[in-house]
Structure 1
Amino acid sequence: MLFVESDYDFACHHVTPINAFKDGGCSIAKAREARERWPGRFQVYAGVDPVFPEQALDSLEQQVEELKPVGLKLYPNSYKADGVIGWHMDDPEIAFPVFQRALDLGLKAVAIHKALPLGPVPMDHYRMDDIDAAADAFPDLQFEVVHGGFAFIEETAFQLARFPNVWVNLETTANLAVAKPGAFERVIAGLITHAGDGALERIMWASGASVIHGEPPLQWFWERFKFSDEMREREGLPEITEEIKRKILGLNYLRMHGLDAKVLARNMEGDEFSIARSKGKAKPYETTLAKGLAA
């Protein structure tokens, strides 16, 4: 879907610790397989549930040893048989020990699911306020707001303005580019209006595959996205150049993790996806639908 049917080259695989799903949503075993089979195409974020602190810290150490992750993925809700429990990023007893252990283990980033509630749960834990204290207490960690801008645009923008270690991951938000392009334009404009042009250095595209196919939003963004002249004049917005688009589509993410685009490109040369793409990009689901039905 990403490497043959789309123009994506490199991916970050998140272990998802949502215990309401059979394997958490995306298991450690799947992350291990992705890293082992395609080391030139994937890096990995570990995933733990901070509500269970001892288990979370032990699992994090195990995943660091097994997966060699570069970051940590967290969800603000924990799902148990008797209900849903939420936690906050500024909790010194639940969250901070996990952040400290991640830092001690050499991880660079903490990705936190925000803005987009997972089902009929209280919105409180999906708000942005609690990121402030975390970003301030752990300046050496990069806090990646997943689904950033889908809601709480102004709050997110002010965090981008105040904390140099807060980043916005456009997973799901990016899909507005096709479904509701006007809404997507307002999201990006809102982030820049309050945070300034520097926000464009810490906004990162994400496909969200395989929930939604990544190619249509990517193609729309690269070929068509720009601010209208009216909006630029009214809001004082910059022109969205190809250079800015390249940063959002990958260069910002590589810079956050200290990765070299040329080195990554060399590592992909001659792999199975490069060979398949050399024959021409496949249409969405052309190479994946039959496999999915067979499974």
Structure 2
Amino acid sequence: MIDNGFVIDAVTHAYNLHPTNFRAGRYAESLAQLIWGLHSSLSGETHRVPTEAGFLKDWSVRELAHILFVESGVDLAVHHVLPLRTLYHDGLCSYEKSLEIKRRYPNRFLVYAGVDPLRGTAALEDLEQQAEELKPHGLKLYPAAWLGESFRHTGWRMDDPSIAFPLFERARKLGIRNIAVHKGLPMGAVPIGAYRVDDIGGAADVFPDLNFEIVHGGMAFLDETGMQLSLFPNVYVNLEVTGALIVKRERWFAESLAALLKWAGPAKIMWGSGTVFSHPQPALLKFWNDFQLPDDLVQVAGMQVTPEVKRMILCDNYARYAGIDVPAVKASIAHDEFSRLKARGDIQPYSYHEGRHD
């Protein structure tokens, strides 16, 4: 919590970035290097993993939970199954890790299923299995995959009736209402077309009973993203990576947030750290304690980022989006292992080590 305010982190990842997990050679390495580069360039000195080897590893579920709930002000987090199996043997964030999270920390995490739509019928079957075992709150998608022996980067569109719509129909049948899609941030040195947002509206229009969550909202295509928010009541943005900009690129963050606010106000913007991409605490503290839009950007946004607006972004919007009973979750975690560890105080970043008991 921050000043007794409940914090929901709408996207987190227990990555397996170790080179032994690379399947597609230079493409897997390129994406891993992109993630490492973002971590090292956007993290402050006190919350940066000092070496590439120390970051490019298989992050455990327990490490992720400790970072979020002991070392930071996050109270509830969302973990995504990542379906990048053409790049990484386990998809980058494995299904098995989400199963472990579901078993060990049911009061601290929500989970999203993850499938590759380009697998066709196999993707539908995969979703069926994950829905049965995970009982997910959402579905995470990537708009491209690397196909064939040459690992050709191949994109697809959210408004494609033959690729996307059967998956959305199956999700709806399974009771999954929240569809999160990676946008705005190409996955390495690849064509950017698949990462644009002009296909979101077509999906939102055909499936008005589903919610569509633009992950990395505000990193690029600002006006196009904001227009989707203003036109469709079922379109939202998640600030994964965008939120981390506040630590060392505050003006960039401010411009992105102002551009989103000017179109639809704050009610559809949700906080996401992407941990372990970056440590969540520096951005959280700076956003809550210090951040204000400069006067010129207040004129763009039409508002200032008040404490009320910050609470909406850090908690209320996602709670409404996913149907979270915040008082019930607060009660369930008030005296759990993470709350007890945090109460000891003086917790250093990245201080959990496998094999050592807390």
Select the residue among 239, 242, 248 that pairs with 2:313.
Answer: 248
Q: Does 1:62 align with 2:133?
A: no
8 Å CA contact 1:6, 1:281 repeated in 2: no
Q: Does 1:122 align with 2:191?
A: yes
Q: Structure 2 CA distance, aligned partners of 1:35 and 1:191?
A: 33
Select the residue among 331, 334, 337 that pairs with 1:266.
Answer: 331
Show the counterpart of 2:169.
100
Q: SS of the counterpart of 2:219?
A: coil
8 Å CA contact 2:99, 2:134 repeated in 1: yes
Q: Structure 1 CA distance, aligned partners of 2:346 and 2:239?
A: 24
| Cα RMSD, aligned residues only | 1.4
CA shift for structure 1 position 291 = 3.6
Q: Structure 2 CA distance, aligned partners of 1:196 and 1:14?
A: 27
8 Å CA contact 1:227, 1:240 repeated in 2: yes
The aligned runs of 1:1-295 (5 Å cut-off) are 1-19=67-85, 20-80=87-147, 81-82=149-150, 83-193=152-262, 195-197=263-265, 200-232=266-298, 234-235=299-300, 237-280=302-345, 282-285=347-350, 287-288=351-352, 290-291=353-354
Q: SS of the counterpart of 2:212?
A: strand
CA shift for structure 1 position 257 = 1.0
CA shift for structure 1 position 230 = 3.5
Count of residue pairs brought into register by the alignment: 287
Structure 1 residue runs without a partner (length 5+): none
Residues 32 and 284 of structure 1: CA distance in aligned 2, closer, same or farther (over 3 Å): same
CA shift for structure 1 position 235 = 2.4
Q: Structure 2 CA distance, aligned partners of 1:126 and 1:235?
A: 25
CA shift for structure 1 position 123 = 0.5
Structure 2 residue runs without a partner (length 5+): 1-66
Q: SS of the counterpart of 1:174?
A: coil
2:84 partner letter: I
What percent of counterpart residues are identical?
A: 48
More contact order relative to length (CA 8 Å, sep ≥ 6): 2
